[in-house]
């Protein structure tokens, strides 16, 4: 892989993620590839931990995704195993057997049912995960000393150029609960190596249904609102685990005291993690926020925003620091959503460049040029039709993306 240098959009440091009572991470070398780094992450979770998750909508998911989908309804988790270097996707019965073997091994270590072990894998596709390496790696991890979240975040990486974590706290019934998360991903996907996997750990006491409801809501405004190349992994997985160790009165409904604080903190962690994935987008040199307002509905706004964010022509224009609002018009037009050319308004940064169906005559190009030279780009589109709004995040499309994805052999 060519992605050896850290993304220019990376934050300066990994944030200080505190321990989460009841969740203990360990890492080991399973050597899924010929590399000398840890590539297996094993997180043990205290008895009573509840789990929620959102999984790829791909019609061709990995066996790990199928395993998690089947286990999630039980709502209980005792362990998470993450393999980096081999996605185990599209490997038929041998892939399924590998997931079952991993779950059984972890369950044996912990004395828990196998369906309380959650498994995620990322890396090359089409090669069954070697069971012997996975089992040896698990045994080694089980015997290892606990590590911090930064080590775990580094161990789940594949083509990522930096480790990604986020944290927030919330006051729930007089107790401070902590929400810590790690994520990996650098294309929205590449079945090769760049699947998005996100794991969130909290000591809050919650019911599984409440956690699922909160995660789904947070996901809809974070992980579901980012795109690097519009491609969708066979393995994308976000799981949230709540150990209950904070000692708060368990949250069970959105109306419970503290539920709003919990939702806000969880949403912030998800948004931070999602934006970090965009900041590590393959070849990215600009972080782009696309804010659509005035659509008929929020859903319509989101589809228009994603049409803009996924347009190769918009993304290459931003790479070229070109205020090419014509390409934004094109993307709005192709989204298939209600739009009226003669009500459309477009801004780059704070400068309105088009309005009422035509260019703003004589708009000041200097602030637009200055904005586009920066690393954080805002594209604003107002449709002038209703109250629907959505914001999504993406990155530009550069020679780096081509180099990573074309000049590479699977």
Q: Is 195 a catalytic residue?
A: yes
333 counts as binding a second copy under rule CB under 8 A? yes
Q: Three-class SS of residue 304? A: helix
Q: Which stretch binds a second copy (CB under 8 A): 45-53, 172-180, 203-211, 325-333?
A: 325-333
Q: What DSSP line would sit under 354-376, residue for residue?
A: EETTEE-TT--HHHHHHHHHSSE
Number of residues that bind a second copy (CB under 8 A): 74
Cβ atoms of 215 and 304 within 8 Å: the answer is no
From the list 41, 122, 161, 195, the catalytic residue is 195
- Residues 172-211 binding a second copy (CB under 8 A) are 187, 189-192
- Residues 147-176 binding a second copy (CB under 8 A) are none
User: 116 or 396: whose CB is closer to a second copy?
Assistant: 396
User: 74 or 341: whose CB is closer to a second copy?
Assistant: 341
For residue 264, with 0-12 CB atoms within 10 Å meaning exposed, 13-18 middle and 19 or more buried, which class applies? middle
233 counts as binding a second copy under rule CB under 8 A? yes
Contact letters for a second copy, residues 86-125 (x by CB under 8 A): ---xxxx-xx----------------------------xx
167 pairs with which residues across the strands? 180
83 counts as binding a second copy under rule CB under 8 A? no
Torsion sign across C-alpha atoms 5, 9, 11, 17: negative
392 pairs with which residues across the strands? 290
Shortest CB 387 distance to a second copy, Å: 19
Shortest CB 278 distance to a second copy, Å: 15
375 counts as binding a second copy under rule CB under 8 A? no
The position carrying tokens 């390496």 is: 133
Q: In this structure, how many other beta carbons lie within 10 angstroms of the beta carbon of residue 378?
A: 16
Q: In this structure, how many other beta carbons lie within 10 angstroms of the beta carbon of residue 296?
A: 16
300 counts as binding a second copy under rule CB under 8 A? no
Q: In this structure, how many other beta carbons lie within 10 angstroms of the beta carbon of residue 291?
A: 18
- Residues 239-268 binding a second copy (CB under 8 A) are none
User: 122 or 150: whose CB is closer to a second copy?
Assistant: 122
* Sole binder of a second copy in the list 8, 113, 174, 334 (CB under 8 A): 334
Cβ atoms of 115 and 71 within 8 Å: the answer is yes
- Residues 44-73 binding a second copy (CB under 8 A) are 56-61
* Strand residue runs (E) in 216-315: 237-242, 287-295
Catalytic residues: 195
């Amino acid at each position: 892989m060519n992605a050896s240098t850290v993304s220019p959009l990376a934050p300066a440091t990994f944030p200080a993620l505190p321990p989460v009572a009841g969740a203990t991470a360990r890492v080991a070398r399973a050597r899924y590839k010929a590399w000398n780094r840890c590539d297996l992450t094993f997180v043990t979770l205290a008895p009573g931990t509840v789990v929620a998750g959102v999984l790829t909508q791909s019609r061709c998911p990995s066996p790990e995704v199928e395993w998690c989908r089947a286990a999630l309804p039980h709502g209980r988790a005792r362990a998470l195993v993450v393999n980096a270097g081999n996605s185990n996707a599209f490997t038929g019965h041998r892939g399924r057997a590998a997931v079952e073997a991993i779950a059984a091994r972890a369950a044996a270590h912990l004395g828990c049912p196998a369906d309380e072990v959650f498994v995620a894998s990322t890396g090359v596709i089409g090669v069954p995960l070697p069971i012997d390496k996975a089992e040896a790696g698990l045994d080694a991890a089980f015997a290892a000393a606990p590590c911090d979240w930064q080590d775990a975040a580094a161990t789940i990486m594949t083509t990522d150029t930096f480790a990604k974590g986020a944290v927030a706290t919330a006051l729930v019934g007089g107790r401070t609960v902590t929400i810590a998360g790690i994520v990996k991903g650098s294309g929205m996907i590449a079945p090769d190596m760049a699947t998005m996997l996100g794991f969130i750990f909290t000591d809050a006491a919650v019911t599984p249904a409440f956690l699922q409801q909160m995660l789904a809501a947070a996901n809809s405004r974070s992980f579901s609102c980012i795109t690097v190349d519009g491609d969708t992994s066979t393995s994308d997985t976000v799981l949230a685990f709540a150990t209950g160790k904070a000692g708060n009165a368990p949250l069970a409904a959105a109306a419970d005291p503290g539920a709003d604080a919990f939702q806000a903190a969880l949403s912030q962690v998800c948004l931070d993690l999602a934006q970090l994935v965009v900041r590590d987008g393959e070849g990215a040199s600009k972080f782009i926020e696309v804010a659509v307002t005035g659509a008929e509905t929020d859903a319509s706004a989101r589809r228009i925003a994603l049409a803009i964010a996924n347009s190769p022509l918009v993304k290459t224009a931003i790479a070229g620091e070109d205020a090419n609002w014509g390409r934004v018009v094109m993307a709005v037009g192709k989204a298939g959503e209600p739009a009226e050319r003669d009500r459309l308004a477009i801004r780059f940064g704070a400068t309105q460049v088009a309005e009422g169906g035509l260019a703003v005559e004589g708009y000041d190009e200097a602030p637009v040029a200055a904005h586009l030279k920066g690393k954080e780009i805002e594209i604003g589109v107002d449709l002038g039709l209703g109250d629907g709004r959505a914001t999504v995040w993406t990155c530009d499309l550069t020679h780096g993306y081509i180099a990573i994805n074309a000049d590479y052999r699977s």
